Amino acid sequence: MTPTPDTPAAPAPDAAHPHSPSHRSPVRRMKERGRHEEHRVASPLELFFDLCFVVAVAQGGAELVHAVAEGHTGSGLVDYARVFFAIWWAWMNFTWFASAYDNDDVIYRVVTLVQIAGVLVLAAGVSRSFADEFTVVWLGYLIMRLAMAAHWLRAARSTSGAERTVALRYAAGVLLCQVGWLGLMFTPSAARNWVFLAMAILEMCVPVFAERHRQTSWHPHHISERYGLFTIIVLGETIAAATVAVKSGIEENDALGELLPIAAGGLLIVFAAWWIYFAVPIHDRLRSNRQAFLWGYGHYFVFASAAAIGAGLEVAVEQAVGEAHLSTLAAAAAVTIPSAVFLLMVWALHTRYFKVGVAQQLTLPVAALLVLGCTFAGHWAVLAAGLVTALAVAAGVTLSAVSARPARTSHA
C-alpha cells in the first residue's frame, strides 16, 4: 500500500477558512481545506457526531457483556467485532472526509445529521444483530453510507481534474460496497462471517484505490485530534458502564468488599490507558497516506479494545456478585485481554516511534504481558492489572525524564 504522496497545493486563504466572515452564505462550494491550515480544531458538529456514535458503541458493549456472562464468549466476540467495524468504519470515513472538505454550510450540516440518524438506527438494531438479525443494522449502515456518498458526489461536483476523480472513486466505492453488504442479508449463517470479512476488506480498499494517484488534503493535526477525542469518549463510556455496574452490584447485593478491588483496578486501567495514549504527539508522523492509513486502520483495535475494557469490567462485577455463568478466570480475562491489546496497539501505532533505548521500547510490551499474567490472580486480577498499568505509566515517565537529562545538560 504505497499511494503516491501527491499533496495538493494549499488553497487560497479565503478557501481555507469556511467559518470566516467571508463564508456567510448558507450554501457554498465544497473546496478542499488547507493541509497546513493553522489553528485547525474539531468543530462542534464533529463533537456531536462523536457523542452520537458512542451510543452505538455502548450498545455493542452491553451486548458483549450479556454474551460473555452467559458463557457465549466466542460468538459474542465475533458479533461485537462485526458491529464495531460498521460503527468504526462509518465514523472513520466521515472523519477523514471532514478533515479535507468541511465547509460547514447548510447542506454539509444536514447530510452529516443524516449520518448521525443512521448510526442511531444502527444502535437500535445492535441487540438483534447478536441474534443474527441484521435488518435494522443494515438499514442504519445504509443511511450512513448513502449520506457519505452524497458528501463525495457534492465534492466531485465542486472540483475538477484529479481531485474530482478521487471524489468520484470514493462515491462509487461506497455505493458498490453497500450493494455487497446487501448480500449479507441473504447469506446462510454458516458463511456470514466469511462474507463479512470479504466485504470489510473490500471497504478498506476503497480509500487506497481512490487516493492511489492523489491524496486528499486531510489535516494531520486535525486527524490526530479527532482520533484522540474519540478515544476519550470511548474511555468515558467505559468508566460510565463500569460505574453503573459497580453501583448496581453494591445496591442489589451489598458486595462492597468484593467489588472495591474491581472498581479500583478498573479505574487505574482506564486512567493509565488515557495517559499512555496521549503521552506522545503523533501528528508529525502522519505525513503520507501510507503512514496515515496504517495508523488509522490500526485504531480499530484501539477503539474496540478500549470499549471492551468497560464490558470486561461489567462482566467481572457480575461474576463477583454471582450473576454471571462463568469462572473467575474467564471474568478476569474479559478485562486483562482487552487491556493488553490496548497497550500493544498504542505502542505499535505511535508510542514506539518516540521511545529511545531498549528499556523505553519494552515498557508497554512487557506491561501487556504482565497484565495477561494477572488473569491468574483470582479475585485480585483486575486490581493487579490496574497496578501493572499504573507502574507502566510511572516507568515510562521516569525513563523519559532520565533520557532527557543529557540533552538539557548539553544544551546548557
User: Cβ contacts of residue 158 below 8 Å, gap of 6+?
Assistant: 29, 30, 31
Residue 97 C-alpha cell reads as 472526509
Q: Mean of the pLDDT values across residues 174-195?
A: 88
Cβ 346 vs Cβ 91: under 8 Å: no
For residue 93, which of 258, 204, 2 has the smallest C-alpha distance? 204
Separation of alpha carbons 311 and 305, rounded Å: 10
Give the pLDDT band (50/70/90) at residue 15: very low
**41 pLDDT exceeds 60?**
yes
Identity at 13, one-letter amino acid code: P
Question: What pLDDT score does 408 carry?
Answer: 47
Cβ 262 vs Cβ 383: under 8 Å: yes
For residue 392, which of 298, 306, 231, 268 has the smallest C-alpha distance? 268
**12 pLDDT exceeds 50?**
no
3-state helix, strand, coil in the chain (%, to 5): 80, 0, 20
**Distance from the Cα of residue 212 to its chain's centroid:** 24
Question: What pLDDT score does 19 carry?
Answer: 54
Instruction: Calculate helix-pair angle for 73-101, 289-320, nearest 10 degrees.
Output: 140
Cβ 220 vs Cβ 284: under 8 Å: yes
Helix, strand, or coil here: 221? helix
Question: What pLDDT score does 17 carry?
Answer: 55
Question: What pLDDT score does 4 carry?
Answer: 40
Give the pLDDT band (50/70/90) at residue 2: very low
User: Cβ contacts of residue 150 below 8 Å, gap of 6+?
Assistant: 111
**34 pLDDT exceeds 90?**
no
Lowest mean pLDDT among 32-41, 58-67, 156-165: 32-41
Q: Mean of the pLDDT values across residues 200-227?
A: 92
User: Cβ contacts of residue 176 below 8 Å, gap of 6+?
Assistant: none
Q: Mean of the pLDDT values across residues 358-387?
A: 94
Cβ 262 vs Cβ 46: under 8 Å: no
What's the Cα-to-Cα distance from 303 to each of 133, 201, 234, 408, rounded to whole Å?
24, 18, 7, 36
Residue 351 C-alpha cell reads as 508510542
Residue 155 C-alpha cell reads as 465534492
Could you tell me what percent of the chain has a pLDDT over 70?
92
Separation of alpha carbons 218 and 283, rounded Å: 11
Chain segment 146-180, per-residue pLDDT in tens: 999 999 999 999 988 999 999 999 999 999 999 98
Chain segment 102-131, per-residue pLDDT in tens: 988 899 999 999 999 999 999 999 998 888
Separation of alpha carbons 40 and 222, rounded Å: 6
Separation of alpha carbons 304 and 338, rounded Å: 8
Run of H or E including 310: helix 289-320
Structure-derived torsion over alpha carbons of residues 271, 249, 326, 312, reported in degrees to the nearest 10: -20
For residue 224, which of 323, 302, 157, 170 has the smallest C-alpha distance? 302
Q: Classify the C-alpha dihedral 322-326-382-247 as positive or negative.
A: negative
Could you tell me the pTM of the whole model?
Answer: 0.88
For residue 213, which of 158, 296, 289 has the smallest C-alpha distance? 289
Separation of alpha carbons 385 and 332, rounded Å: 9
Separation of alpha carbons 270 and 44, rounded Å: 26
Identity at 181, one-letter amino acid code: W
Largest CA distance in the chain: 70
